[in-house]
Chain A
Amino acid sequence: MPGRLKVRLLAARDLPVMDRASDLTDAFVEVRFAGEMFKTEVCKKSLNPQWNSEWFKFEVDDEVLQDEPLDIRVLDYDTYSAHDAIGKVYIDLNPLLTRDLPYVISGWFPIYDTMHGIRGELNVQVKVELFSDFNKFRQSSCGIQFFCTASVPSGYRLQGVQGFVEELVVNDDPEYQWIDKIRTPRASNEARQRLFSKLTGGLQRKVGVKVLEMGGNAVLGYTQNFDLEGESGIVVRAIGTAVTIGRLPAIPPSPLGQSPLKDPGFVFGSFEDKGHLGGAIVGHDRGHHEGQGHRQSQELEHEVYDPDAIFSSSSPLPEDSVSSGSPPLPSNRHSVSPVRTTGAVATNRDRRLSDSDVGSPPGGNSLAGSRSSGINMSSAPRAVLSRATINQQNIALLEYPFFTMRSFPPGFIVSLGSMVSARSVKLLDKIHNPGEWRVHIENVFYQIHFSESALRNQRQRDMWWGEIRTEIRSHARSMNCHAVLGYIEQTTICGDIIILSASGTAARISFDLEQGSQGTQLLQPTVLAPGPTVSGDQQHSSEREKDKEKRLTVDIGLANQLAQIRLAGNIEGPEELADNCALCHIPYRTSTLPFPVNLSPCAFCKKKKVPDILFTTIDPPKEIPILSHGSLIQARVIRSKSKGKGSETAAREVSDSLPFLEYELHSQLLNKLKMRGLNALFGLKIQICLGETMIAALATGTGVFLGAMPQPPVPKLSTQVQVATAEETRDLAELQARITDVVQQHRDRLNTEIAEETGLDHSPHGAHTDDSDEEQSDLEVSFLGKDTFILEVDDPKDEIISLILKDCRPPAGFEVCNTQFPPGVSTDRLLGHAQMFTQMAEVRYLPQINTKVEFADIFDMLLRRMCFKLRRLAPCCLTDLNFTMEIPDEDEVQVAVTGCCLSLGESQSQNATLLSVPSASSSARQSPRPTGQQDEMMFNMEVDTDSKEPSTAGPQAGQAQPPSFTLGASPVATNPKPHVGVELTPLPTVIGGKIIKYLGNYNFFLIRESTSVKECGGLGGFMQSFIGEVMAIVRGHVAALGGNALVGYQMNHCVLFSSLHKNQAQCLINVCGDAVQISYDNEPVCVELPTVPDTS
């Protein structure tokens, strides 16, 4: 399918002064694509030149269109010497290649220079005409939609899941070529940026080809990662989930008239918004090609849909799993698996699982090359599965049953196992054949040259990741889970040591929703108004009855349906709650626990077993019963590492210390969670970071209280050493008292939240709250009882304890979490998208000198400042916080955080119910302990007000709180302004608006360098302006596509190298997201597509 690319350059504005003498610029533009180049005329002596050029035409293959960015350079004409570069614009053409989108990009693009930042803007129009020329063997994948969004895009429904797709490419890094020694930093940065951009395009195309082969039409949760390995090159990795999606059919707007954001987790919730768009788009986006594949796959599904198959592999009930936990696999794959699956079973929970790799005897699998014996991630398994939408049965046959999404349609998840992770330490080989470097000439179409070493590297990386994925899979199997959700892959590199990590959540899933009765089921939730729940309920059950004969999972399915209905209708009924616990039930059998875990009967159904603690990497499923608000929980661990050893010794040291690191991380998470009285962690992301002198680990998750699982007991101190002196005994008692205090505060708050969540109900669920009441009233007694978890200390001044005690709550008016939507906060309280922010800090840290507490302080500081700097927007909630850590130098720790600030209002629907009861109940709850309250006050005023806040926030706050906040200068929080400009958000949608159209995904890798750091305000000024510029560039590109928001915004890479004595700094940032067009509730829908007068 060849295509014609047409480019037209209209004008530029606010160009920099390039000629000092005249204070003006003689600008012209060069447009390059696929080796061809066109120039505009020189527009003399103007900072706002107008070219109004003709259409420059390039005739190329679509493959090239996918791979290459359009390369536009703005230059200053110089008669005598070389023309001076003003800056560049790279335009990714992929959004133009997807069907049913406008074939035009038109707008003002920031002109970017790696040494000077943004220097004016360029008005460009780009069109692509694709000629239909169906070629079976084409290597392009136009038409496959890519979504960075880690859930089903709003307005679409999932019709089939093809499974995990991955691809990686290896290339030399221009920064490390010999030519870099003689060229300018600008040339080097530009060579790098161009290469990154090209690799991105190529990688995406290759993934697309795989998806086409599999019969899918889209990739969800698509992420690209850049591993800058230094001497051994660049590795660009992409993972995603291949799916078949279709537009939701248009139906008249529901009586609720809710926008998708009112209930954002519901991917289906938004179809109603399509009402005004008409139904013409249904199924339209699937090309004939994919359409065929889909039809074929559906036939296939019907064939395999026999009860026996389901019985053996898909039953979510552990007790029923008579057959082997791990479904039969092609034996050859077992044999090549480098991982000792048995080792994993014996270890402790998720983090210990990974020990099977790193903890294995030295010289085993930890060093590169030692295991390279012929594992080939062949495409054979893929070929078997190609064109087959996986269903309940053949999920087990998938090579890697991984899903990169973070949230899933209701009913998709049957049961959650636990977080699984795997790591491996490898050595990068440095061998390069200098003869292979080619002289790279500027201004010539840049050739990606696959040197032999690059190809070898590529095979090696494929193999490494293959090992890791196999391990993850086997961990999941050991939990009797057939799928891994929320799957991510990460690396950290230092010198020639690389740590590869993968993590996800083992789960049992069900594809019921995609098959059979999909249509009605999918549509059901939104049609339901709070009133007619019963009818919907009946409809569902009757529908389910029909299916009953062939499906054993029916009761769970039904429960999930009920849960769904309950949530959709926003009805907090005790009966439904009790039924809604299946997700928490353990997927494994009680007889063979994959790791030591305390099981107890489910608090709701009293039949099935639930674990005491649940760690997951996904967002909380809508149907899971969360009783508390979400609370950000972070574990930070640092270990020093000796430097200057040989590579192999160093690698071994790293690999030996990883288990300790992980153990520490895990116990910190666990203790913090229990201190707060919570029992589940969602969105858990662990990042390990390797530096010259230290290894750091950061785990971030959102803790919640799941009603079905038991509440963690109160912590008790214990010392292994005999307490010698009276002083020590006193210290210990003091510490215990402090812990008790903190726990008490957390529990008080938790109880208010629970009361808030459960609303009016006293009886059936009240039993549960009663429990916790008891537990509190005789807290002292419970220390002696069995209900304690033990904090071990050797020394009352132990760092670990102080870390846990220091863990403070966000200030009043703030909710902080790292899941996409705040758990426990009803969606109608989310008023709008107030701000998307990026925070970046570089801290001097030496593991030999600084303490662990100081390391933790870095993050506490970031969180504290984050809230402080957003204080004018309170009440608000900070969601989707994403921390990335780097250790670029011996004594430097860098942390970058992105997040989203949503403004919060008072819950309308809940207020009514809360007014009467919970205020009474909470006061009643507090009344037995009036003295306790006063004690706290004396102990710590802040925390006291903090803990009281939710109780007051219930009914009275409507009058009491907002005034203090609205006094703030910014009215954004209370009164969202008409939306101007482009919103960026990490969330899958913009709160307060609905997505009308997806315009394509963007991935930017930008480099900024400066040799005059002091002059631009120091490192802070440098970073601040660069981050601002990155966002500006993203906005410019989104706007040129006709969009007004970028969802699923992620910053994958942010690293700053600096040497202040040279007044020099360099920073690399990689961001991505999906450009969309949003319509806001209060505004008329204006679908403004860029239109171009066709002059060609």
Chain B
Amino acid sequence: MNEVEVFVGNNTIIDPEVYGLWLRGYSANEAASILQKQESLQAFHATLDDLLSDVQDHFRLFSGLEAMLKSPPRLQNQQIYQIDHDTQTMLIEKYYSFDASVIREVLGKKLSSRSRKDLDDISEQTGVPLRSCRRQFDNVKRVFKTVEEMKGYLVENICTHFRLSENLARDYAAVVFIANNRFETGKKKLSYLVFRDFALCALQMITNWSYSSVECKNHEDMDVDLDRDFLLLLRELKVLVEKEYLEEHRSLVLKASLKFSDRVHMHLDNNFRTFSKTIINIANGLNHSRESRDIFIDLYEKLIEPSLQFQWSRADLQNVLTAYKETALQMDLFTRISPHLQTVWERYMGTLVVCVLQMYPVS
């Protein structure tokens, strides 16, 4: 019988629970029936309609706030809604929080309106309501568009422009980084990896490979891109697979691998050449955007898959990679001939080890 029934307070008070349901993408009716199970209406002689009306008030408020949530600094300046600071922070943080499963699917997709249309698949797959998927997708896209062209530190930029907590900003930084470099994450072989795996890898790459890394001398370009000087230097690592150095390196690694199990030692003995070539090729490939996109695939197919075939444990792989990395530094090549490669090697291998280990399936 009611055409309209609204309730507006001078102080905008947010019910976090209702906000959560709204973010989840429920309709007001759905949210009301969920809340009904949790709250006793009896004490207020209230009906389901009353609850629905309350939920609707909140939902209308949220959709009014949504425009401002899209540019959080505006929410903090605005005078239309009188909201205390803590609540503002909560509103923003929750609005930008996401389901890892959804973002995992969004990763690597082009943030275009076409992929937005595919969200119903993701919704079906993850069980997250479509509306929530859309919000998460839009958030990622918005953050991406905003910081894509910005100079300075990625995480910092996200923090200032979206007023997010640092942890959340890091996650977005990872997503933006992966999206910007268009790293392939959607291949079937990679489907066992969760968002957190990629986020960790991406953050490693941001810290060590991008323009914001400590070693980077030239901060002209954007944080979201890989450090071009570094990439050029990576090419020089090719020398490691030249015959003389390869042999030297091999013997050093094999010597170190004596500590490992015989099985691992034997595998290394037989395959060192392929192993080393793979790693150097991946480094080299980072110079070419087409190949760099496949970095996760490459890491998986060329390093992780063989290791799995050898039935190496994660520890085995860690030992091998560490030995590979450390022994190289002992070589003349690094100590005397071209010492500038030391840092490059460290930057490259350090990140690679962490990434590979993160990606290594826990069986």
Asked whether A and B interact, the reply is yes
Known contacts A868-B54, A1032-B80, A1036-B79; is-contact A1020 B15 (Cβ 8 Å)? no
List the B side residues contacting A1028 at CB < 8 Å: 8, 64, 80-81
Task: Give A525-540 interface residues, CB cut-off 8 Å to B.
Answer: none
Which of B15, B46, B51, B78 lies in contact with A14, CB distance below 8 A? B78
Contact A1023 B6, beta carbon cutoff 8 Å: yes
The interface on chain B, measured as residues whose beta carbon lies within 8 A of the other chain's beta carbons, has a size of 40
Is A1027 an interface position by the 8 A CB rule?
yes
List the A side residues contacting B9 at CB < 8 Å: 835-838
List the B side residues contacting A977 at CB < 8 Å: 84
Contact B82 A981, beta carbon cutoff 8 Å: yes
Contact B63 A869, beta carbon cutoff 8 Å: no
List the A side residues contacting B16 at CB < 8 Å: 969
Please, what's the 1-or-0 string for B78-117, where 1 marks a CB less than 8 Å from any CB in chain A? 1111101100000000000000000000000000000000
Is A972 an interface position by the 8 A CB rule?
yes
CB distance from B147 to the nearest CB of A (A): 18
Known contacts A811-B45, A837-B9, A1019-B4; is-contact A121 B54 (Cβ 8 Å)? no
Is B17 an interface position by the 8 A CB rule?
yes
Task: Give A942-975 interface residues, CB cut-off 8 Å to B.
Answer: 942, 969-970, 972
Contact A840 B5, beta carbon cutoff 8 Å: yes
List the B side residues contacting A110 at CB < 8 Å: 79-80
Contact B15 A969, beta carbon cutoff 8 Å: yes
Roughly how many angstroms separate A873 CA and B56 CA in the complex, as a whole number?
19
Which of B5, B61, B80, B84 lies in contact with A865, CB distance below 8 A? B5
Roughly how many angstroms separate A872 CA and B64 CA in the complex, as a whole number?
22
Question: Can you name the residue of chain B whose Cβ is closest to the Cβ of A1065?
Answer: B4
Contact A980 B13, beta carbon cutoff 8 Å: no
Contact B7 A869, beta carbon cutoff 8 Å: yes
Known contacts A839-B6, A970-B13; is-contact A980 B46 (Cβ 8 Å)? no
Contact B7 A837, beta carbon cutoff 8 Å: yes
CB distance from A1023 to the nearest CB of B (A): 5
Contact B3 A1024, beta carbon cutoff 8 Å: no
Q: Would you call the interface of chain B mostly helix, strand, loop, or mixed?
A: mixed
Please, what's the 1-or-0 string for A1022-1049, where 1 marks a CB less than 8 Å from any CB in chain B? 0111011101100110010000000000
Roughly how many angstroms separate A808 CA and B82 CA in the complex, as a whole number?
33
Is A656 an interface position by the 8 A CB rule?
no
Is A1021 an interface position by the 8 A CB rule?
yes
Is B43 an interface position by the 8 A CB rule?
yes
Is B167 an interface position by the 8 A CB rule?
no
Which of B1, B42, B63, B79 lies in contact with A844, CB distance below 8 A? B1
Is A812 an interface position by the 8 A CB rule?
yes
CB distance from B74 to the nearest CB of A (A): 6
CB distance from A86 to the nearest CB of B (A): 16
Known contacts A1020-B56, A1024-B8, A1035-B79; is-contact A972 B44 (Cβ 8 Å)? no
Is B2 an interface position by the 8 A CB rule?
yes
Is B53 an interface position by the 8 A CB rule?
yes
Question: Can you name the residue of chain B whose Cβ is closest to the Cβ of A1031?
Answer: B10
Contact A972 B80, beta carbon cutoff 8 Å: no
Roughly how many angstroms separate A576 CA and B137 CA in the complex, as a whole number?
71
Roughly how many angstroms separate A121 CA and B80 CA in the complex, as a whole number?
10
Contact A811 B80, beta carbon cutoff 8 Å: no
List the A side residues contacting B41 at CB < 8 Å: 868
CB distance from B46 to the nearest CB of A (A): 5
Question: Can you name the residue of chain A whose Cβ is closest to the Cβ of B81?
Answer: A1028
Is A108 an interface position by the 8 A CB rule?
yes
CB distance from A527 to the nearest CB of B (A): 35
Is B50 an interface position by the 8 A CB rule?
yes
Is B298 an interface position by the 8 A CB rule?
no
CB distance from A186 to the nearest CB of B (A): 20
List the B side residues contacting A1018 at CB < 8 Å: 4
Contact B82 A1017, beta carbon cutoff 8 Å: no
A-side interface size class:
35 or more
A-B Cβ contacts below 8 A, count: 147
Contact B77 A13, beta carbon cutoff 8 Å: yes
List the B side residues contacting A284 at CB < 8 Å: none
Which of B43, B44, B45, B64 lies in contact with A1024, CB distance below 8 A? B64
Is B217 an interface position by the 8 A CB rule?
no
Which of A865, A873, A1021 lies in contact with B60, CB distance below 8 A? A1021
Known contacts A865-B5, A1025-B64; is-contact A872 B79 (Cβ 8 Å)? no
Roughly how many angstroms separate A981 CA and B80 CA in the complex, as a whole number?
11
Known contacts A1020-B56, A1024-B6, A1028-B8; is-contact A872 B15 (Cβ 8 Å)? yes
Is B11 an interface position by the 8 A CB rule?
yes
Is B225 an interface position by the 8 A CB rule?
no
Roughly how many angstroms separate A892 CA and B3 CA in the complex, as a whole number?
9
Is A552 an interface position by the 8 A CB rule?
no
Please, what's the 1-or-0 string for A499-532, where 1 marks a CB less than 8 Å from any CB in chain B? 0000000000000000000000000000000000
Roughly how many angstroms separate A837 CA and B2 CA in the complex, as a whole number?
19
Question: Can you name the residue of chain B whose Cβ is closest to the Cβ of A814?
Answer: B44
Contact B54 A865, beta carbon cutoff 8 Å: yes
List the B side residues contacting A980 at CB < 8 Å: 82, 84-85
Is A383 an interface position by the 8 A CB rule?
no
Is B57 an interface position by the 8 A CB rule?
yes
Contact B10 A984, beta carbon cutoff 8 Å: yes
List the A side residues contacting B10 at CB < 8 Å: 835-837, 983-984, 1031, 1035
Contact B44 A871, beta carbon cutoff 8 Å: yes
Roughly how many angstroms separate A865 CA and B47 CA in the complex, as a whole number?
9
Roughly how many angstroms separate A980 CA and B82 CA in the complex, as a whole number?
8
Contact A108 B79, beta carbon cutoff 8 Å: yes
Most A Cβ at <10 Å: residue of B11, B41, B63, B74: B11
Known contacts A1020-B56, A1024-B60; is-contact A972 B82 (Cβ 8 Å)? no
Contact B6 A872, beta carbon cutoff 8 Å: no
Contact A1027 B6, beta carbon cutoff 8 Å: yes
Roughly how many angstroms separate A1013 CA and B61 CA in the complex, as a whole number?
16
Contact A14 B74, beta carbon cutoff 8 Å: yes
List the A side residues contacting B81 at CB < 8 Å: 1028, 1032
Contact B80 A1024, beta carbon cutoff 8 Å: no
Please, what's the 1-or-0 string for B1-45, where 1 marks a CB less than 8 Å from any CB in chain A? 111111111110101110000000000000000000000011111
What are 12 pairs between A and B in contact, CB < 8 Å? Answer: A14-B77, A110-B79, A811-B44, A835-B13, A838-B7, A838-B8, A844-B1, A872-B13, A942-B43, A969-B17, A1017-B60, A1024-B6
Q: Chain A residues in contact with chain B, CB under 8 A?
A: 13-14, 108, 110, 118, 121, 808, 811-812, 834-845, 854, 861-862, 864-869, 871-873, 892, 941-942, 969-970, 972, 977, 980-984, 1017-1021, 1023-1025, 1027-1029, 1031-1032, 1035-1036, 1039, 1056
Q: Chain B residues in contact with chain A, CB under 8 A?
A: 1-11, 13, 15-17, 41-46, 50-51, 53-54, 56-57, 60-61, 63-64, 74, 77-82, 84-85
- Given A872-B13, A872-B15; 5 other pairs, CB 8 A cutoff: A840-B4, A842-B3, A861-B2, A868-B41, A977-B84
Listed from nearest, the 8 A-B pairs whose CB atoms lie closest are A842-B4, A836-B10, A841-B5, A1027-B8, A1024-B6, A981-B82, A842-B3, A811-B44
